[in-house]
Structures are given as C-alpha cells and as structure tokens.
Structure 1
Amino acid sequence: MSDFSIDELVIPATPRAPGWPSWEAVAALRNVVEAEGFGTDDLEYSAAELLPGWLNTTYDPKRMFVARVDGTVVARATYETLLDQGDNHAWLGVQVLPAWRRHGIGTALADRVEALAATENRQELIVYTVSAEAAGKRLAAPTGFGSVPRDNPEVRFLFARGYRLEQVERGSRLPLPADDSVMHRFRADAAAQAGRDYTVHCWSGGTPPHWRADLALLFTRMSTDAPTAGLEEPEDVWTAERLVNEETSRAASPRRMLTAAALHEPSGHLVAFTQLSVPAESNRSVGQEDTLVLREHRGHRLGMLLKSANLEYLAQESPGHPSVTTFNAEENRHMLDVNEALGFVPMGYEGAWKRVVPRSGPSK
C-alpha cells in the first residue's frame, strides 16, 4: 500500500478561490477515467462547468472526498443523497487514476463513503460505473437486457463489497452534423402522428415562468417513470422553486441548456420534454440530458418529435459540434429505437449496482 491521505474536498466558491487547483485536478481525474472507460473524450467537462452543480446543494446534497499522494490528487469518491432525511438511499462513486490503482486507495475511499452512509442510516447504496469492453465471460443484468465483462476490475471490486448488478445502461453517440433532410422528415412524420393536440416549444436557458410548474412535474416523474429495474430508486420531488434554484445555479456554468417540450393543447400543460447541455466551444460534444414523455401521453411519437426538434434547434443555435452523447437503460427499447433511428451508435456501457445493508448484521 502506498502512503496516501484522504480528506473531504472543500468546493471552491469561484475559479479564483482557495482550493481551485484541487478542483481542477478532480475535473481532470474525472475526464481521464470517463475517457478510459468509454474510449472517447466526448464526455469531458471542464472544472468551470462542473463547479455550479457541486456548489448548489440546496435540494441535492452531495459531498466529495479525495485521496492525495505527496499532495497530488490521485482519486476521488462522491456521496450523494436526497434532501429527505427519512430516505435511506445513497449514491456512491469512486474513481482512481490508472497509475494509482491496486494500492488500496479505491478500497479506502469506498470504506469512507460507505461508513458515512451507515452513520446517516442509509442502507440502500447505489453505484453507477463504466465497464470497458473486454473479452471473456459476461455478467448479465437481471433485467435480461445487457451485460458487463465479469472479470473487469470494477466488477470484481463491487462483487467483493456485496453489490449486485441490477441494470446496464448504454452510452450512445450521434455524429454531427446530422442530415437536415432526415431530421426534418423524422420531425414531420412524428408531428403528423402526434396530431394537433400537441405543439413543440423550444427555448435556451431558463424555463419560461408560466411553464415552471409543468417542467418541475416532468423532472419529478423522471424519478418514477424512467426504467430503474431492481434499483427501485425513490421519487425525487421537484417544485417550481427548486427548478428556479437549479437554473439560477446552472447559469454560472459556461454551458447552456436547450430545451424542447411538448404542450398538450387541450389541457394547456407540458407533457414531455428533452434537453441538451451545450458547451461554449463548438469543437466539443453536446450532452443529451433528460428526456421524458408522461406515461399517460405515450404512444404519440412525442419522443421522436422532441428529440428531432431539439437537434434542429441545436443546429440553429450552436452549430459545429462534433457529436451528441446520451445514456439509456438497455431495457428501454422504445427510447433506444428513437435514438438508433436518429443515428446514435453505442459507445460503451455502465453497470448500475446496488447493495442493501441491514440496520444490523452483515450486508446482503
């Protein structure tokens, strides 16, 4: 075991505040590990882009711990929970630079955040981690959709700590520019099937005030309507106030959000949405964020309608980006069908793992 120290990272308030070099090191570490797992740097975020989300913990509590060797950050662990103190879930993550693996650092960080979960009586621990493709035996998800290499280091690590694979998520990439005529055809065909009851509205940045309550409901339903397999993740309630808080915080990021939403004309409410996170630099990839159609409004091709509309909106508002990346549960065949039709191709997979720790006795 190498000599290393672990401490909780104090998130710097600004790029000029004390601790900024450590924050930059954390961002670089994240990007190295993501690029290694997915074989692309399309998922890269700058330190400035990551900062607002970590400063804003009003509705989204989170903490970060870092491991250092001779003062240099070589690994990190994340700990996230819901605001509800009665909820027993915690979302954990550990990332170690390749050169510092097999030194006990990942184990020490996992011990730290799992112990923190225990002190807060959070027995349901969830981990999302990339599994790079490798030869050999496969571990299938219990959903019947997707698998990860059984002998990968992260798979063996999680197994040894009592975690169970519950779901596999596919990371996909759409090369840009997309064919304008194809996008227009997809949008027109989907609009024809949706009919006159649904209209598309697009905006950049903050949500128009009269739609904040609707979008908050859509965010809440993301936690209940999206496939979560055996993870059984809890409802995460959003309000208009929380949405404003999130969008105000996000305004400090160099990125901006492009939103396309479907308005159900008879009711006057938004019933579906999709968002793209767009970096300022045109030579960097765009991130596909949440997409949801309320269950009661499915079957009208609103997913295709909104995704094609937002890709057209992206081409108008911020052309020149090389790609769009997105993540979907492998069992979410409907959304995968939409993405594949638009031209998305797989770029990698991550496992969603769960460990349930009883209040007393050994883990199971």
Structure 2
Amino acid sequence: METFRFEIEELTVPAAPQAPGWADFVAANGVRNTVEAEAYGTVDLELTADEVLPGWLNQRWEPKRLFVARTEGRIVGHGHYETLPEDSADHAWLAVGVLPEYRGRGIGTALADRLEAVAHSEGRSVQIVYAPSPDAPGERLPSPTGFGSVPLDNPEVRFLQRRGYLLEQVVRASRLPLPVDPVQLRRLGDLAALHAGPDYSVVQWIDRTPPVWLPDLAVLYSRMSTDAPSAGLAEPEQRWTPERVSQEEQKVAASPRTTLTSAVLHGPSGHLVGFTELEVPAELGRAVSQEDTLVLREHRGRRLGMLLKIANLELLTLERTGHPSVLTYNAEENRHMLTVNEAIGFAPMGYEGAWRRDAQ
C-alpha cells in the first residue's frame, strides 16, 4: 500500500488581503469553515478570510500562530495556536481541523503534536480546546458542571481523551430566527426597563467606541474574562486598557463586518456596568454573530441582560434589517443568560465541549 504523505508547516499571516500568503490563508480558513459546517449542520457559522484577518493581525494582545497540513499542494488541515502576551502566562488555546475526506490518516494527530510542542516550548502548561460535538446515540460523557454532556463515542471525544484532555464544560450554540416580532421585543424590553428602575439607561454606538466610554469598556472586557462561567478551565484574566480597546477597534475597522454595541449606564455612578455586542456581516443573506454580553456582578438581578439584548436587537432592526438569524454561544451552566435567550426566541443548534489538559 502506498504511504500517504503530507507536510505540516507554519503559515505567515498576510499583512492585508491579496498580500503574499493570501491564497494559503484563504485555504486554511476554508478548512475551518468546512469543519464547522459539518459539525453544526449549517453554513451559518462561515466567516470569510477578510473578516478573520484583523484578528490574526492582532499579535500584540493575543499572540497567534497558524499551522496547516498540505498534501500534493492542497491545504487539508489547519491548526490554531493562541496564548497571552505575558511571559508568565501558562495558558494556550488550541484548535485542529481536518477536511472529512482526509481524516484517519494521522493529520489531526500531527497537527495536535505540533501545537502541543509549541505550548511546551513556551511554558504553556494549561492547554484548552473547544471542540464541536455533533449529537449521536449511545453513552454520553457528562460535564463536571452538572450541565450538558457530549457523546462518548464521537471521534473528537475519543481523540481528546487519548491525548489526556478532560471535559470541563459544555457550551451551547443557539440560533435566533429573524425577524423577531417587534411587539414581543418591545414588551420584553419594557418589562426589563421597569424592573431595572430609573437608575439605569441604555447608550449605543456603531463600530468605534466614543472616547468617553473607553475606560469603562476596558473594565467590562477585563471582567468578561473573569466573571463569565469558565468551570474548571480556570481561564486567566485578560488585561484590557483604553489603549487596547482603541487599537483593537482600529484593526477591526479593516474588516467588512459592523459592530453594534449597547451598554447600560448606571446613572448614580456615571459608569457603564454592562454591555452586549453584535457583529454584522456586510451581506444581508448571512447570519449575525452575538458576541460578548456581560453585566457586572454587583449590578445583576435587575434584568439588565435582557434590557441590553433587546436594545441591541432593536438597533440591528433599525440599522441592518434583513439578516436571517443571530447566532450565540453560552456555557450550559449559565442558566440566567440561557433563560434570557430562550425568552427572546433563541433555540439550540449544537454543542461543543471545552477541554483542558495539564501538561507535565
């Protein structure tokens, strides 16, 4: 039998669309899109290379490396390595994907070996993987949080267990069909505003954050990394400053996507205490992505999460009506946010496992 041959190589991320390396970057992103579409049974999660490039160029705050598997000139697998800029950081986030027709030939193993070797060389002993797990019959592996499970016999589950990863959390992907009944939205928004009381109001902007709110948004982003449920992943705090917010927004401005932000202002203190973001693709036929949503712990219990989500969906209708759906991810144990989403009309579309490996 002829030996199947492939090579693992690291790609240089192109400096701009059509710059040197662009074709390989597009091909690697295509592998990611194919793998996600197979796992979730929809192309709604697809992102173009132009949309993801700004994130890859954000090396100062979120260092990343991109590896591919190539056979006979074709890119058939990708590996994504990400960590934090601090020398003392011990976490790394890894992702591997292989085109369906090329699985079972050692490509995924070779890519995982390479990513884990990079993590070891940089002293990143805590390695985290988020892996979609399509539903399947048979025995299930429960999350230690007590919420959610993944099919025990799924290939990605067996693969990660063999490599020493432990399931720490299950994440739900949800879809909201659009349009939502505006009367229902307004009813939910009015009830949330009534419950919140007069001390809270909503402020909104599109793309770049007004300078007056940059310090508050930096606090909210930092708290996003500590206040959101992370179970046994124990993901570290990410340090945000107004400078970082501004610089990242400047890079994202090169993307064809538009960011809609609604934030809740606490009148007595004059500070923002919660926010939510939607990322909107240029093409009306594509799904909108629900990004971060957070209400500071000390201001929870006032239905501010609902207030924010409704306000941003109404802003979406006002600015960019016609998109088919909104997609979002939530930890299964985050029952409060799931309850908010379900009341609005989000329904589950798939699940993924969050896995952790503590390397020696």
What TM-score do you get using the length of structure 2 for normalisation?
0.99
Mapped pair 1:39 → 2:37: no
Aligned length in residues: 358
Please report how far the alpha carbon of residue 26 of structure 1 lies from its aligned counterpart in structure 2 after TM superposition: 1.3
For residues 171-195 of structure 1, give each alpha carbon's deviation from its aligned partner in whole angstroms, at most 9, with x where no partner exists: 0000000100001111111001111
Matches within 5 A, 1:307-322: 307-322=309-324
Matches within 5 A, 1:226-241: 226-241=228-243
Corresponding residue for 1:362?
none
Please report how far the alpha carbon of residue 16 of structure 1 lies from its aligned counterpart in structure 2 after TM superposition: 1.7
Q: State the identity %.
A: 62
For residues 73-128 of structure 1, give each alpha carbon's deviation from its aligned partner in whole angstroms, at most 9, with x where no partner exists: 10010110011110111000100010111000000000001011111111100000
Please report how far the alpha carbon of residue 20 of structure 1 lies from its aligned counterpart in structure 2 after TM superposition: 1.1
> Matches of 1:33 and 1:226 in 2, distance apart?
27
- Which one of the candidate residues 105, 108, 125 is aligned to 2:107? 105
Corresponding residue for 1:198?
200
> Matches of 2:19 and 2:358 in 1, distance apart?
39
For residues 323-353 of structure 1, give each alpha carbon's deviation from its aligned partner in whole angstroms, at most 9, with x where no partner exists: 0000000000000000000000000000000
> Matches of 1:104 and 1:251 in 2, distance apart?
39
Mapped pair 1:224 → 2:233: no
Corresponding residue for 1:209?
211
Corresponding residue for 1:124?
126
Higher mean displacement: 38-47 or 340-349 = 38-47
> Matches of 1:16 and 1:330 in 2, distance apart?
40
- Which one of the candidate residues 176, 182, 193 is aligned to 1:174? 176
Corresponding residue for 1:261?
263
Amino acid at match of 1:357: A
Please report how far the alpha carbon of residue 201 of structure 1 lies from its aligned counterpart in structure 2 after TM superposition: 0.8
Corresponding residue for 2:301?
299
Higher mean displacement: 148-157 or 29-38 = 29-38
For residues 142-187 of structure 1, give each alpha carbon's deviation from its aligned partner in whole angstroms, at most 9, with x where no partner exists: 0000000000000000000000000000000000001000011111
> Matches of 1:357 and 1:53 in 2, distance apart?
27
Corresponding residue for 2:75?
73
For residues 192-239 of structure 1, give each alpha carbon's deviation from its aligned partner in whole angstroms, at most 9, with x where no partner exists: 111110010111001000000100100000110000000011111100
Corresponding residue for 2:345?
343
Corresponding residue for 2:4?
2
Corresponding residue for 1:361?
none
> Matches of 1:109 and 1:26 in 2, distance apart?
13
> Matches of 1:159 and 1:83 in 2, distance apart?
29
Please report how far the alpha carbon of residue 71 of structure 1 lies from its aligned counterpart in structure 2 after TM superposition: 1.1
Corresponding residue for 1:153?
155
> Matches of 2:19 and 2:92 in 1, distance apart?
29
- Which one of the candidate residues 325, 328, 339 is aligned to 2:327? 325
Amino acid at match of 1:153: P
> Matches of 2:321 and 2:31 in 1, distance apart?
29
Amino acid at match of 1:253: S
Matches within 5 A, 1:272-287: 272-287=274-289
Moved over 2 A (4+): none
> Matches of 2:117 and 2:15 in 1, distance apart?
27
In the alignment, structure 1 segments of 5+ residues that lack a partner are 359-364
Mapped pair 1:90 → 2:92: yes
> Matches of 1:114 and 1:81 in 2, distance apart?
12
Tell me the secondary structure at the aligned position of residue 84 of structure 1.
coil
Amino acid at match of 2:23: P
> Matches of 2:132 and 2:339 in 1, distance apart?
22
> Matches of 1:282 and 1:83 in 2, distance apart?
36
Tell me the secondary structure at the aligned position of residue 284 of structure 1.
coil
C-alpha RMSD of matched pairs (Å):
0.7
Please report how far the alpha carbon of residue 18 of structure 1 lies from its aligned counterpart in structure 2 after TM superposition: 1.4
Please report how far the alpha carbon of residue 58 of structure 1 lies from its aligned counterpart in structure 2 after TM superposition: 1.1
Tell me the secondary structure at the aligned position of residue 280 of structure 1.
coil
